[in-house]
């Protein structure tokens, strides 16, 4: 490739922009169609990059998938879940905020594409062990953040539980399963129902 090719110029000018465009395109396509249903040509077209530019940034589709999990899916879980939980007064309030924001997003959007972490997990965690490790790391951070908040609540007498870790895992399970139902129903109602039931489990104990 000569330095005057359009691609070399793009790379020289804006290498981060190219990588970012690839991640944006792939994150959207994986979320809409799934990882395996997305072809490389779809990614090049959506990102408006050449295959040469792609391979300048990624070894291949698997490395791209891992970057999506680390940089996009983990960031989405952080923004949607970890931040609300960390910044809330109690786990219950943080969990309610996370559910409520997602429900609002689904109601405002066009179609329920589901939780990107759960989508990739159910598609890839068994067949692709390398992906499983990455996906588990995101689930682990999610469970850990909720468990820490529950432990704090328990120490302050805000929540009664013998096992903050198991309760945090349960919260993630309720959310993940309710989102699967939202996807098959194309409705936010299962998340709203899930939050209602979960709120009873997380209610402040009567003193």
Helices (H) and strands (E) in the chain, counts: 12, 0
Nearer to a second copy, 18 or 147 (CB): 147
Q: How far is the CB of 91 from a second copy (least distance, A)?
A: 14
Of 81, 90, 183, 188, which one interacts with a second copy (CB under 8 A)? Answer: 183
Q: Does 65 bind a second copy (CB under 8 A)?
A: no
Of 80, 90, 121, 145, which one interacts with a second copy (CB under 8 A)? Answer: 121
What span, in angstroms and rounded, lies between the C-alpha atoms of 64 and 39? Answer: 12
Of 1, 45, 173, 203, which one interacts with a second copy (CB under 8 A)? Answer: 173
Q: Which stretch binds a second copy (CB under 8 A): 14-22, 50-58, 94-102, 191-199?
A: 191-199
Residue 37: is it exposed, middle or buried by C-beta count within 10 angstroms (0-12/13-18/19+)? Answer: exposed
Q: Is residue 158 within 8 Å of residue 70, measured between CB atoms?
A: no
Burial 6-24 (b: 16+ CB within 10 A, else e): eeeebbeeeeeebbebbbe
Q: Does 204 bind a second copy (CB under 8 A)?
A: no
Q: At what angle do helices 129-155 and 164-185 cross, to 10 degrees?
A: 120
Nearer to a second copy, 56 or 154 (CB): 154
Q: Does 28 bind a second copy (CB under 8 A)?
A: no
Of 96, 123, 148, 152, which one interacts with a second copy (CB under 8 A)? Answer: 123
| Residue 48: closest CA among 9, 18, 69, 71 | 18
Contacts of 143 (CB under 8 A, 6+ apart): 165, 168, 169, 172
Q: How far is the CB of 44 from a second copy (least distance, A)?
A: 19
Q: Which residues bind a second copy (CB under 8 A)?
A: 32-34, 36-37, 111-114, 118-119, 121-127, 132, 135-136, 139, 166-167, 169-170, 172-181, 183-186, 190, 193-194, 196-197, 200-201
């Amino acid at each position: 490739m000569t330095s005057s090719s359009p691609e070399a110029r793009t790379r020289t000018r804006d290498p981060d922009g190219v990588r970012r465009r690839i991640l944006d395109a792939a994150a959207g396509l994986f979320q809409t169609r799934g990882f395996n249903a997305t072809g490389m040509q779809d990614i090049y077209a959506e990102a408006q990059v050449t295959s040469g530019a792609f391979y300048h940034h990624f070894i291949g589709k698997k490395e791209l998938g891992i970057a999506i999990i680390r940089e996009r899916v983990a960031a989405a879980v952080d923004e949607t879940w970890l931040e609300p939980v960390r910044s809330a007064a109690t786990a219950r309030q943080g969990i309610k905020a996370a559910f409520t924001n997602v429900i609002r997003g689904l109601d405002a959007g066009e179609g329920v594409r589901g939780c990107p972490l759960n989508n990739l997990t159910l598609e890839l965690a068994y067949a692709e062990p390398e992906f499983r490790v990455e996906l588990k790391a995101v689930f682990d951070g999610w469970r850990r953040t909720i468990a820490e908040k529950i432990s704090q609540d328990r120490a302050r007498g805000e929540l009664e539980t013998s096992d903050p870790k198991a309760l945090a895992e349960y919260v993630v399970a309720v959310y993940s399963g309710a989102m699967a139902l939202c996807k098959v129903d194309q409705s936010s109602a299962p998340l709203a129902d899930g939050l209602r039931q979960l709120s009873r489990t997380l209610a402040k104990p009567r003193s």
